[in-house]
Amino acid sequence: MTSSPPHSPLRRLTARGRDEAHRVASPLELFFDLCFVVAIAQAGVALVHAVAEGHAGEGILNYAMVFFAIWWAWMNFTWFASAYDNDDALYRVVTLVQIAGVLVLAAGVSRAFEQHEFLAVWLGYLIMRLALITQWLRVAWSSDGAERTMALRYAFGVLLCQVGWLGLLVLPEGGRPWVFLVMAVLEMCVPPFAERDHPTSWHPHHIAERYGLFTIIVLGETIAAATVAVKSGIDEHDALGELLPIAAGGLLIIFAAWWIYFVVPIHDRLRSNRQAFLWGYGHYVVFASAAAIGAGLEVAVEQAVGKAHISTLAASAAVTLPTALYLLTVWLLHSRFFKVGITQQLVLPVTALLVICCTFLGEGAVLAAGVVAGLAVVTGTTLTSRRAARERADRTDDGAEVGAGRGPVT
């Protein structure tokens, strides 16, 4: 099979190099992320309504299901693009089709939450998955041997899972959580199975950047949602005194969430498929909890102005629990690998525990949680700076002793 000209509108979909220099996110990928945040925002709004009305358990379950569909489609595209983005006309068109699919899914989120009607969500997911199958079939057509087998495994695995999701439409309501649990596990088994004999050539730096950018966008949406809620509370209820602590605490939490995530260069640790799968899958909790912080802040605002039918304790928990979950997950996924000594290792776990304890502080819970998160950043930065200063001093001392003819200190 002959290669297509480098500037042809249609080119073979062949693997890009894992060591490719200066690999960064493309404008199409950034546009893709922004459109996905529309669906995340809709899921957050629905979660706010469920929690504020006292249906937290049901709302969290629906949120987990809908968010999984959003996140999984985003993640599959991200890793595929890292390995096979050739930026030809067909690739762009198929990616835009995936964007259309997530917008259809977003349109069905409210019905999924309120009426347990998943048809629009399923159709949106179907559009996204068929587009991905098309991309994998292009890879199979453009390759041979183990790579072709890998691409076909992906295509048929995605197709079979999509058929399995029909259970959300045809089974009784009580069986849908079990359908979700089984199908979510099967979906996550497709990549390890497909890449068993031939891993894709995803780019570590590119993947780390893509995940980081999506984290920023989700945190930005969280700030936007909380700001709108505070503004509405002030305009409609003239409750500046009640809302100011929530706004200040929420801002501190989100600032700390950004700082803690980006304090370490994680791309150096993404060296194998096993590490990458665990890291990539774990971001379901990172993204979901980050978006849930914004929903929790909206709930806290509604409770403060008397619009929510829940207690102050429940409203506080809507903020503190996802915050603690975010802190723990980020620590587990990569922060802990860059901490030296028991003190540094305990900063984030202890902070998560203290944030949970803030739940019981009444109306000042959100502000207290924000202060605790901010202090964690200050503590971690101080410990890291001191360690770096000691290491520089040790290197200086070692160099002086070597220069004096005494050799390095052991």
Domains and CATH numbers, the chain: 24-202 (no CATH), 204-401 (1.20.1410)
Q: Is the pTM of this model over 0.85?
A: yes
Contact 99, 32 (CB under 8 A): yes
pLDDT of residue 242: 78
pLDDT tens, position by position, 224-271: 888 888 888 777 777 777 788 888 999 999 999 999 898 877 766 777
Neighbouring CB atoms inside 10 A of 32's CB total: 22
Runs of H (alpha helix) within 53-88? 56-84
Contact 165, 125 (CB under 8 A): yes
H/E stretch holding 273 reads helix 273-304
Query: Would you state the structure tokens that stand for residue 345, as one six-digit string?
Result: 């290792």
Nearest to 261 by CA among 306, 179, 328, 196: 328
CA 284 to chain centre: 5
pLDDT of residue 366: 92
Q: Which amino acid is at 171?
A: L
Nearest to 390 by CA among 347, 348, 345, 340: 340
Task: Flag residues of the chain having pLDDT under 70.
Answer: 1-9, 267-268, 272-273, 335-341, 387-410
Strands, E, within 2-70: which ranges? none
Close Cβ partners of 333 (under 8 Å, ≥ 6 residues apart): 266, 278, 279, 282, 283, 286
Contact 246, 229 (CB under 8 A): no
Close Cβ partners of 162 (under 8 Å, ≥ 6 residues apart): 125, 126, 129, 130
Nearest to 212 by CA among 80, 30, 22, 18: 30
pLDDT of residue 2: 40
Half-sphere exposure of 361 (CA within 13 A, CB side): 19
SS3 179: helix
Close Cβ partners of 241 (under 8 Å, ≥ 6 residues apart): none
Contact 98, 131 (CB under 8 A): yes
Q: Find the largest Cα–Cα distance for the chain.
A: 81
Alpha-carbon dihedral sign for residues 271, 272, 278, 282: positive
How buried is 170 (Cβ within 10 angstroms: 0-12 exposed, 13-18 middle, 19+ buried)?
Answer: exposed
Query: Would you state the structure tokens that stand for residue 367, as one six-digit string?
Result: 């502000």
H/E stretch holding 9 reads none
Cα separation of 46 and 64, whole Å? Answer: 12
Contact 162, 126 (CB under 8 A): yes
Cα separation of 67 and 229, whole Å? Answer: 22
Cα separation of 159 and 53, whole Å? Answer: 38
